[in-house]
Amino acid sequence: MEDKQQEIWEQLKEVRDPEFGKSIMERELVDEVVVEGSKARVRYHLTVPFCPKPFALHIGQEIREKALQVEGITAVEVIVQEHTQTDEINEELKG
């Protein structure tokens, strides 16, 4: 299980913050990666709580895509935290 967590952390280095162009890992925006069987959960936050919603969604979707590239991971729950539109963004990320 720890191997898959580490692989996801590595994959997330490729996700870029669209506003600044740096990796979300460099910017320390990923708060948690949990793997349970074939499912992963990734919690992240943004540089500011009022970051534009399209940026928040873009990052969340990229997180999902990169995590799904890890062999054996078939589902990824992506959760944004500490944003002024947390509920709306998380609802869209579920879809």
2: confidence class by pLDDT, cuts 50, 70, 90: confident
Range of the domain at 38: 2-94
Query: Could you give the CA distance from residue 64 to residue 56 in angstroms, rounded to a whole number?
Result: 13
Number of domains in the chain: 1
Query: Could you give the CA distance from residue 29 to residue 32 in angstroms, rounded to a whole number?
Result: 9
pLDDT for residue 49 is more than 70: yes
Query: Could you give the CA distance from residue 32 to residue 43 in angstroms, rounded to a whole number?
Result: 5
**CATH code where residue 63 lies:** 3.30.300.130
What is the reported pLDDT for 71?
96
Q: Which residues of 56-83 are buried (b: 16+ CB within 10 A; e: fewer)?
A: bbbbbebbbebbeebeebeebebbbeeb
Beta strands in 26-70 (DSSP E): 30-36, 39-45
Query: Could you give the CA distance from residue 37 to residue 15 in angstroms, rounded to a whole number?
Result: 23
pTM equals 0.93
